[in-house]
Amino acid sequence: MILKLGQRDLSLGPFVQVFAPVCLSLNFFKTLFLFHNFVEDSSPNVSLTKKRAIINLRHSKALFKCRVHCTPPLLPKRLERNPLYTSSLSLLHHFFAPHFCVDEGGTGARRLSFDHTVDAATSVFNPKPSLFGLGLFRSSCKPDPAAWKQAAFDMEQDDQHVESSDGMKRVVNEMDFFGSGGRSSSKEEAKADVKMESEHQGLVQEDDAPAEADVNTGLNLLTTNIVSKKSVPGDRTSQNLKDKERVNQLADIRAELERINAENQRLKVTLNQVNSNYYALQMHLVSLMQRQQNRRDESSEASEMNRTTEEKRHGEAIVARQFMDLGQAAKAEKDELSESSSDGRVQEFSGSPGNAIVESMERRQTNSSRNYETVPSDPISRKDLMDPGRNQREDTPEGRPHPGWLPSKVPKFNTSRDVELAQETMAMIRKARVSVRARSEASMISDGCQWRKYGQKMAKGNPCPRAYYRCTMATGCPVRKQVQRSADDRTILITTYEGNHNHPLPPAAMAMASTTSAAASMLLSGSMPSADGIMNSSTILPKGIMLPCSPNLVTLSASAPFPTVTLDLTYNPNQRPTSQLLAPSPNIPHLLGHPIYNQSKLLGLFSSQGIEHHPHLAQNQMQPPHPVADTVSAATAAITADPNFTAALVAAITSIIGNPHRDNSGNNNSPTSRNTGDNNT
DNA sequence: CGAGTTTGACCCGCGC
DNA sequence: GCGCGGGTCAAACTCG
Ligand SMILES: [Zn+2]
């Protein structure tokens, strides 16, 4: 089981997400019920809002999410001082096993502490002690820590498995029974009892799923008890039999889903390709016009930027989903719903325990009666549910082109708008990004500039946080950079630069700045991204100090929103060959054959380290150690003159790994014992 | 006390 | 309209 507690919007209060395996959904929802009642009874100004329960059949997971709402909202800066937050934490801790998980997706780093204790006096939750003795719950309904722990283990396994399959998230069947939430007025969307959301997969021609749609529930797991309000926990044998009956059916459905999904993927790829080509053409045109405007020029040929990285796209297709509203499902209370439907693909889950439980939560909100009758508590909701005219969906218009196919930001190509175009081009240059991959143990490669950190986030799909820096060498310098470790290889540090400095740079910072700006301009001009290209184009820069790039893999991505060049300073023999546009330069000396361990001193070596350490440098026209400027200019000259030398320089960089050097970018080498939270199951 | 870091909140865009 | 993710702001904090 996984618990998530986080805060995104202050006004909305902390959010709670509880994941559990479906096999434990009974215990799961019972505990939720307890939790809910506990909270709602604790304080008149505290309530749970936005309650939702979702069952993911493919992964056999049940999810409950809600917000802990408090009026007036508490406004802390530090979460640990927010009584609402800390109380929620301890409460969750009590009701569920102490398995917490950081909210990876949201903003900032949301850490959860395990041993957090809340002073009962300051807790916002002060439930009546009689709550547990209310007879509402049998003893079997009490939280079962042992079961939760086992569940947590299962979930971990499952999660790992999912992760390994490339983050592919396929929600085959997702049931959602909200709608009967406290808001009684906005019942419209909650109307359609059985909401099929799989039409975007072309699977189901949703034809106003009728309320009484009798659908084959593939998973009626151990839920009917609650639904039938008999509440006889124990006879799950018959359920198992039923489940087995439907396994075959389910398999067929899945096969078909797979097939359709594959087709969709093909179409998607094709579309992406077309899109990329279009984008490349557009970029080329922009660059042409720009060049025509300002007479400066470098060699340029048509680009083939149609190389979008779309391997990541493979998986996130949702195969099929079903959303079912809780209210009417429970309301339906039919017996016919368990039979196979007209088309066997549809499944219904009205028998799920979540329905009854969540509804019970709602019900006791309005009338505090504790009976288990299925009488709808809320007359308004009942009326809405009965309203027959609601189950048709007023969806987005049909025939709408694929989003992104006609990006709204595409400039019009009127010749009369050259100025506009130029401005747009400038904007794009500012938006262009150059990312550098280098192996580094330090938390940041020192590139000679002064940076101030202004943010840190957990990026999705990467356990390592991403840090945001801004150049502080001059006030108002627009240059920013992001630093993040690669998810694949933690030893690789990915630094992404954006913008150009508006101030003179120290020689130590020249290398990186020139390289990145050259790469960016080249990317935007549409010329062929190659190491030679960067080197040659460096001649147009005020100072042609460039980082050695010849052995690097320079990849280019024109995919929106940011065009990005990637300079790969790592030597990785088994890199995927499909994503690189050009082969490494043939002039690479064998020196590069050995692995590069640390390139965190990319410009330290320009300024301070003895480049003469390396024999190759000595044998080239490198002078003995010099003042910084001289060394740099010499290096510059050499680099621009001789690609071999650049390669040697790279080797030199690698050879000084162990040397400490003064770090002029700040002392942020501390291992940061207070790391932004890891996912701790 | 000032500069730099931490981190929760806010904003915005996008997709559903 | 809402949820979610990326990017940024800025209050609170830390450090010298
Ligand atoms: Zn700057």
Separation of alpha carbons A477 and A500, rounded Å: 8
Residue A469, pLDDT > 60, answer yes
Place of tokens 């069947």: A173
Residue-level pLDDT at A252: 62
- Residue A484: its H or E element: strand A480-485
Question: In A63-117, where does DSSP find H-type helix?
Answer: 83-95
Ligand 1 centre to CA of A473 (Å) is 5
Quickly give A469 CA vs C8 C1' distance in Å: 11
Ligand 1 centre to CA of A293 (Å) is 27
- A73: which nucleotide lies closest, measuring CA to C1'? B9
Residue-level pLDDT at A482: 93
Residue A272 lies in a domain: yes
Separation of alpha carbons A464 and A104, rounded Å: 10
Highest mean pLDDT among A22-26, A136-140, A606-610: A22-26
- Distances in whole angstroms, Cα of residue A406 to Cα of each of A275, A279, A428: 9, 10, 18
Quickly give A197 CA vs B14 C1' distance in Å: 19
Separation of alpha carbons A327 and A29, rounded Å: 16
Q: Is the CB of A472 under 7 A from strand B?
A: yes
Do A639 and A620 touch, CB atoms closer than 8 A?
A: no
Quickly give A450 CA vs C16 C1' distance in Å: 18
Beta strands in A325-377 (DSSP E): none
Separation of alpha carbons A342 and A346, rounded Å: 8
- DSSP of A501-566, one letter per residue? -SS---HHHHHHHHHHHHHHHHHHHT----HHHHHHHGGGSSS------TTSEEEEE--SS--EEE
Give the angle subtended at the CA of A437 by the CAs of A433 and A441, to the nearest 5°.
130
Q: Counting Cβ atoms within 10 Å, is residue A277 exposed (0-12), middle (13-18) or buried (19+)?
A: middle
Residues A91-138 pLDDT 10s: 777 777 655 665 554 456 565 544 444 555 566 776 554 444 333 333
Question: At A478, which CATH number?
Answer: 2.20.25.80
Which residue is closest, via its CA, to the C1' of B15? A403
Separation of alpha carbons A125 and A90, rounded Å: 10
Residues A319-354 pLDDT 10s: 222 222 223 333 333 333 333 333 333 333 334 444
Q: Is the CB of A451 under 7 A from strand B?
A: yes
pLDDT category, A63, cuts 50, 70, 90? confident
Residue-level pLDDT at A336: 32
Strand B positions with any atom < 7 Å from protein CB? 4-11, 14-16
Residue A43 lies in a domain: no
Q: Which residue has the higher pLDDT, A339 or A478?
A: A478
Residue A464 lies in a domain: yes
Query: Domain residues for A254?
Result: 244-289
Q: Which residue has the higher pLDDT, A641 or A424?
A: A424
Mean pLDDT of chain A: 54
Residue A502 lies in a domain: yes
Residue A484 lies in a domain: yes
Residue A445 lies in a domain: yes
Separation of alpha carbons A58 and A662, rounded Å: 54
Last residue of a domain, which of A509, A539, A569? A569
Question: How many domains does chain A divide into?
Answer: 2
Residues near chain C (nucleic strand), Cβ < 7 A?
A 50, 77-78, 81, 105-108, 454-455, 457, 459-461, 466, 468, 470, 480, 482, 562
Do A298 and A548 touch, CB atoms closer than 8 A?
A: no
Token representation of residue A114:
């395990």
Residue A534 lies in a domain: no
Ligand 1 centre to CA of A196 (Å) is 52
Residue A33, pLDDT > 60, answer yes
Residue A645, pLDDT > 70, answer no
Residue-level pLDDT at A467: 93
Residue-level pLDDT at A259: 61
* Among A210-214, A423-427, A494-498, the least confident range: A210-214
Residue-level pLDDT at A119: 55
Q: Which residue has the higher pLDDT, A574 or A488?
A: A488
Residue-level pLDDT at A429: 57
Please provide the size of chain A in residues. 681
Last residue of a domain, which of A509, A538, A569? A569
Q: Counting Cβ atoms within 10 Å, is residue A237 exposed (0-12), middle (13-18) or buried (19+)?
A: exposed
Do A175 and A323 touch, CB atoms closer than 8 A?
A: yes
Residue-level pLDDT at A348: 35
* Mean pLDDT to the nearest integer, A286-300: 50
Q: Which residue has the higher pLDDT, A429 or A380?
A: A429
Quickly give A454 CA vs C12 C1' distance in Å: 14
- The single-letter code of the amino acid at A273 is Q
Ligand 1 centre to CA of A452 (Å) is 11
Residues A89-115, buried b or exposed e (16+ Cβ, 10 A)?
Answer: bbbbbebbbbbbbbbbebeebbbbeee
Quickly give A308 CA vs B7 C1' distance in Å: 34
Percent of chain A with pLDDT over 90: 4
Residue A471, pLDDT > 70, answer yes
Residue A51, pLDDT > 60, answer yes
Residue-level pLDDT at A60: 75
Percent of chain A with pLDDT over 70: 29
The conformational region for residue A26 under phi > 0 = left, psi -120 to 50 = alpha, else beta, is: alpha
Token representation of residue A168:
């592919």
Which residue is closest, via its CA, to the C1' of C1? A189
Measured over the CA atoms of residue A327, residue A333, residue A339 and residue A343, the dihedral's sign is: negative
Last residue of a domain, which of A266, A289, A312? A289
Determine the distance from the C-alpha atom of residue A220 to the mean position of all C-alpha atoms in its chain, rounded to a whole number.
Answer: 32
Residue-level pLDDT at A358: 61
Q: Is the CB of A197 under 7 A from strand B?
A: yes
What DSSP state is assigned to residue A224? H
* Mean pLDDT to the nearest integer, A558-580: 62
Strand C positions with any atom < 7 Å from protein CB? 3-13
* Among A134-148, A157-171, A439-453, A547-561, the least confident range: A157-171
Residue A502, pLDDT > 50, answer yes
Residue A447 lies in a domain: yes
Residue A159, pLDDT > 80, answer no
In this prediction, does ipTM exceed 0.90?
yes
Q: Which residue has the higher pLDDT, A397 or A501?
A: A501
Separation of alpha carbons A23 and A221, rounded Å: 8
Quickly give A250 CA vs B15 C1' distance in Å: 29
Residue-level pLDDT at A362: 65
Residue-level pLDDT at A462: 84
* Mean pLDDT to the nearest integer, A151-161: 47
Residues 85-124 of A with CB under 7 A from strand B: 106-111
